Amino acid sequence: MTRFQTLLAAAAALFTLPAFAHEGVHINDPYAITRGAIGSTGAVFFTVENHASVDDRLVGVTSDVADMVEMHTHSQSADGVMTMPAVPEGFPVAAEGELVLQRGGNHIMLMGLTRALKDGDVIEMTLTFEHAGKVVVEVPVDNAHQPAATGAMQGMDHSSMGMAPSN
Ligand SMILES: [Cu+2]
CA 1 to ligand 1 centroid distance, Å? 52
pLDDT at res. 72: 97
pLDDT at res. 159: 39
CATH code, domain with 129: 2.60.40.1890
Instruction: Note down the domain range covering 102.
Output: 23-146
pLDDT at res. 150: 41
CA 7 to ligand 1 centroid distance, Å? 48
Instruction: Look at residue 60 and tell me if it is in a domain.
Output: yes
Structural domains in the chain (count)? 1
Characterize 10-26 residue by residue with b for buried, 16 or more Cβ atoms within 10 angstroms of its Cβ, and e for exposed.
Answer: eeeeeeeeeeeeeeebb
Model pTM? 0.74
pLDDT at res. 41: 96
pLDDT at res. 102: 93
In whole angstroms, what is the distance from residue 26 CA to residue 28 CA? 6
pLDDT at res. 160: 40
Instruction: Look at residue 156 and tell me if it is in a domain.
Output: no
Give, in degrees to the nearest 5, the angle at Cα 166 between 84 and 100. Answer: 30
CA 84 to ligand 1 centroid distance, Å? 5
pLDDT at res. 24: 85
Instruction: Look at residue 164 and tell me if it is in a domain.
Output: no
All residue ranges of the chain with pLDDT < 50 are: 17-21, 147-167
Instruction: Look at residue 97 and tell me if it is in a domain.
Output: yes
Residue 29 belongs to what H/E stretch?
Answer: strand 25-34
Instruction: Look at residue 6 and tell me if it is in a domain.
Output: no
Instruction: Look at residue 132 and tell me if it is in a domain.
Output: yes
CA 83 to ligand 1 centroid distance, Å? 8
Rama region for 4: left / alpha / beta (φ>0; ψ in -120 to 50; rest): alpha
